[in-house]
Amino acid sequence: MTATQATIVSETFGDAQNPALLLIMGAMASMLWWPEALCRRLADGGLFVIRYDNRDTGRSTKYPPGKPPYSFDDMADDAVGVLDSHGIERAHVAGMSMGGMIAQHVALRHPSRVASLTVISSSPVGMDTSHLPTMSASYIEHSAGGADVDWSDCRQAIDFVVRDARAIAGVAHPFDEAGARAFIEQDYDRSGGFLSATNHFMLGGGGNSKGRLHEIRARLLVIHGTADPIFPIEHGEALVQAVGGARLLRIEGGGHELHMQDWPDIAGAVLAHIRSI
């Protein structure tokens, strides 16, 4: 799919005749961060699941680091472009972290295309969140180290992302460092490196969403870990309060992650949410 000179690579699971679920991943993360087994679980539940690589990740178009010629609005339009490329007029949309913010933009920019909305481990867009708790002190300290990483160096990049995966993990389950490293190496190889993905931290746009969350008409499910160190649970609660009729699923002890031991609860909630529409 090509939109505003970007090629966006996507992958599907399940029967194309089933209701479509579009998955939008977060900053610096390719589609692989939506685990294939979770996608197949959702497809087995009767959905046509689509995941895709955001710009500057995976196999989608990449730009020189430090100069992203696109905005959050473009990324929201990319999501709709993916639907167009699969001939889908209306889909259920789920976003994780920054992807959850993009999903909110999609619901505001293209309301007729969104059948329902699920926002995971994210924060409300277009509203003042300065009164909400900030990142944990330990995560702030960890993330500051990203400035010292040579992202063009394979080992440095992979090592930092492994440390990041540990830093965002919750407290309910042990962290599988070997598994995380193997996955991140796979993602690095498929993506050809993570250097361009750092552009995600320099994006602008999205200003036309200010004060508009109450306009979202798609029924909203918010899924949020109670031990999320990036967006504490209060961010999910604030989003629920801002959008009429929204519902919150708390993942007890969950971090900023899609931990496999939480997949039954996450997939079950998403499927129930979509079936209720």
Residue 52's SS3 state is: strand
Query: For 42, how many CA atoms within 13 A lie in the half-sphere containing its CB?
Result: 31
Q: Which amino acid is at 213?
A: L
CB burial readout 77-108, b (16+ within 10 A) else e: bbbbbbbeebebeebbbbbbbbbbbbbbbbbb
Question: Which residue in 115, 121, 126 sits closest to 22, CA to CA?
Answer: 115
Give the separation between CA 58 and CA 194, rounded to whole angstroms.
9
Per the DSSP assignment, residues forming a β-bridge with 22 are 50, 93
36-63 as b/e: b if 16+ CB within 10 A:
eebbebbbebebbbbbbbbbbbbbbbbe
Residue 104's nearest CA partner among 72, 70, 140, 64 is 72
Catalytic site positions = 97, 228, 256
Residue 266, both tokens = 């996450």
